[in-house]
Structure 1
């Protein structure tokens, strides 16, 4: 098949390319990204197209790229700069609009959209929900609001076009990790002045004892996408590993001592430090971690015959091992994290949370 993947050089995109470009796959893969990677390793057997989905004519440019393609997998999303939420919305919601419009105009056979557990409303923290739970997001999280808005666009598209429209699949995974993404994840999560190697050496873990979140390895997310493509399976699918991750699990994998700090106090500290530009994560991410439900993945098991191969603990250990190794890839989003580079960009382009582009 001819498959177009937006955001193909990111965390999930890299894992998906490992499957779609395998020697026996037979697929022609076109990667649509803002910053094409050097064609090496897993990125070598991909036709790269440079396109910023936040641009004013993204839909028209994408329409040309999608001409004659069988499947489009929409993974592109923005996580920084957290203070420029207008840009992040243009990437996430505006980019999804561009993909849907272009896919419809090109009469693409199948659209797969990367949603998230963050699309779900609060109300069942620590308990499982299936795909019928309201996908209206967490109001205090810009990321969650945009994920919910993107799904609302898909709802509207399906109402307007019904069976005459492009068939749509929505993947709703928990928090996604893998070793190869360690540098990329830490670039967006750690202050530039904190070395990655400090993370595995943390002696204590100050977190609320109530923490229970769904986690999943990127390889298992990629497998779900491949199975949905092969089966032409549509609709929403929850994706998460077992068991749900709690505070003590995180402390055990880190080898740190867990200390109870109420989420409200943690939220206030995160907010103050973010506003003081001491660290790059806004409070919305913490609010989401203590609001989103756990995931019932029975539908993925039934319709896709999908079962995660990585446990949540193994997935967390994999990415933390990557942090200790400063793991990275040839992709710009997943490149090696360099404190020198971050300091240079902070001085020349502005802080990560405020600069025009991440």
Structure 2
């Protein structure tokens, strides 16, 4: 198959490309704002594409022509203070991909949605793929994922004939994403090893988040492509990650603090530019439903190979060691490097993209 992957250098995209390349039977086209160079780029037709701008239209049309499938993974998480950019990339980028898929008549589109697209839970019972995808209103990420889902709704209703698959994983993690997570979520002055020195975790004990390993998500994508499976699929490990599990992974003592208090402190720190994670992520964490993965297990013959707490432990270990991958997105993170980037380009939360 000729398969085009957007966001092919990110946490999920780099593993998907590796997984599909290992089969040795596909013609792979990788789209990324910063394609990799050298031996790590072998076996893939890499093309620079910025989905946040209309200038990508011709490049998308050229890349998608003759494709058997497009796997749309590109998304943005920072700068958190530039909501317009994140909307241009997430919502606008999805709209541009859909237009190019229609224009080039790609027969299969696989879209990476998220548990974040779901409306808030009503109780602790797992929800299947029929749960509403109207998002969590106070979470920018959730609102954008929900908006992308509604774009897909309208696209399918238009009768283009494209087979559309939507994957809705929990929070996706692996060790090699450690450096990128440090850049996204930890101030530049804080060294990676500081994560091993956290004595207490002030957090509401009611927090519960579905997680899944990146490798397991890549397996689901491969299964979807081979089986041409349509519709939405929840992906999550069996055991969700709770506040107690997070404290254990950090080697810290959990101190119960009501979510409203945590939110107020987090909001003040974000507005003061002391840290780059906005409160929408906290709101979403407390609103996320538990995922019923029955459909993926039965129709894709899929099952997670790592449990939620194990995924979190791997992620935290990767952050402590500033683990990295071989793509620009997953590059190593150091305090001197992070400070240099802040001086040259501004803090991550407000940084303009080159």
Runs of 5+ in structure 2 lacking a partner? Answer: none
Paired residues of 2:107 and 2:161 also in contact (CA < 8 A): no
Match of 1:8 in 2: 8
Match of 2:28 in 1: 29
Q: Secondary structure at the residue paired with 2:280?
A: helix
CA distances 1:288-346 after superposition (whole Å, capped 9, x unpaired): 00111110000101110100011112111211221232210121111001222221222
Select which of 341, 349, 353 maps to 1:353. Answer: 349
Match of 1:141 in 2: 139
Counterpart-to-counterpart distance in 1, 2:57 and 2:280: 29
Cα displacement (A) at 1:125: 5.0
Match of 1:151 in 2: 149
Counterpart-to-counterpart distance in 1, 2:118 and 2:38: 37
1:333 aligns with 2:332: no
Cα displacement (A) at 1:40: 3.2
Cα displacement (A) at 1:58: 2.1
Counterpart-to-counterpart distance in 2, 1:311 and 1:349: 38
Paired residues of 2:211 and 2:237 also in contact (CA < 8 A): yes
- The verdict on how the C-alpha distance between 1:25 and 1:126 changes in structure 2, with shifts beyond 3 A counting, is farther
Matches within 5 A, 1:119-268: 119-124=117-122, 126-161=124-159, 164-268=160-264
**Off by >4 Å, runs of 4+ in structure 1:** none
Counterpart-to-counterpart distance in 2, 1:342 and 1:40: 26
CA distances 1:123-165 after superposition (whole Å, capped 9, x unpaired): 335331111111010111111110000000000011111xx42
Paired residues of 1:214 and 1:244 also in contact (CA < 8 A): yes
Paired residues of 1:200 and 1:323 also in contact (CA < 8 A): no
Paired residues of 1:183 and 1:336 also in contact (CA < 8 A): yes
Q: Secondary structure at the residue paired with 1:326?
A: coil
Counterpart-to-counterpart distance in 1, 2:7 and 2:120: 28
Cα displacement (A) at 1:278: 0.1
Q: More deviation in 247-256 or 274-283?
A: 247-256
TM-score of the pair, normalised by structure 1: 0.96
Counterpart-to-counterpart distance in 1, 2:346 and 2:236: 36
Q: Secondary structure at the residue paired with 2:9?
A: coil
Select which of 59, 62, 73 maps to 1:75. Answer: 73
Match of 2:43 in 1: 45
CA distances 1:228-254 after superposition (whole Å, capped 9, x unpaired): 000000100000001111111222222
Paired residues of 2:183 and 2:348 also in contact (CA < 8 A): no
Counterpart-to-counterpart distance in 2, 1:108 and 1:78: 24
Match of 2:91 in 1: 93
Q: More deviation in 100-109 or 2-11?
A: 100-109
Counterpart-to-counterpart distance in 1, 2:256 and 2:37: 45
Counterpart-to-counterpart distance in 2, 1:285 and 1:44: 36
Q: CA RMSD in A?
A: 1.3
1:299 aligns with 2:295: yes
CA distances 1:36-74 after superposition (whole Å, capped 9, x unpaired): 112334x43211100100112323320111111111000
Counterpart-to-counterpart distance in 1, 2:136 and 2:313: 28
Select which of 256, 259, 284 maps to 1:288. Answer: 284
Runs of 5+ in structure 1 lacking a partner? Answer: none
